Structure 1
Amino acid sequence: MTGPDRTPDTELAGLPAWLYPAGFWVAVLLLAAGVLFPDLAVWGVAWVGLVPVLAALWVLVTGWQKDRRLGMAAGLALLGLGLVVVVRGVL
């Protein structure tokens, strides 16, 4: 008995292949511009932290219909991140 035939999936964990490289290059450009304009450095650092959050949102929204377990994992990751932010604010 063999498993179901699967087509090779070029997407990694439900993410489009362009997401992390695009996020990286936006961060590099913002941080490089931050050398000349220091106010942009803050945006560059914030963007570096925001890319994984956007990836989790992408997986939650687009992956929910394809793979419910993956979507649930992304949702739990976002809830955990939100809990960290709330607890950090309390402390």
Structure 2
Amino acid sequence: MKLNIKYFASIREQLGISEEIVVVEVPHLTVDALRSMLASRDARTADALREGRPVRAAVNHQTVTGSFFVCEDSEIAFFPPVTGG
């Protein structure tokens, strides 16, 4: 399954990239599983997407929970929570 992954704000700065195409060889994948898979690639990605760090996700421009299942050709965005004031 081919996925378009986008990174925003401090996550993008940590990784040094704003987006990438990832091909995964699994029929079903949740956002949390994708995040864990990406984090397992190297130390920099592990720190940016580590479990326990508040990271929000959107699939095809809709905010989702970690248990949401992604499908072929989805756009998944990872970003830190936004605060305002």
Q: TM-score, normalised by structure 1?
A: 0.26
Max Rg structure: 1
Q: TM-score, normalised by structure 2?
A: 0.27
Q: Higher relative contact order by CA 8 Å / sep ≥ 6: 1 or 2?
A: 2
Give the number of the structure whose residues are more often helix, by fraction: 1
Give the number of the structure whose residues are more often strand, by fraction: 2
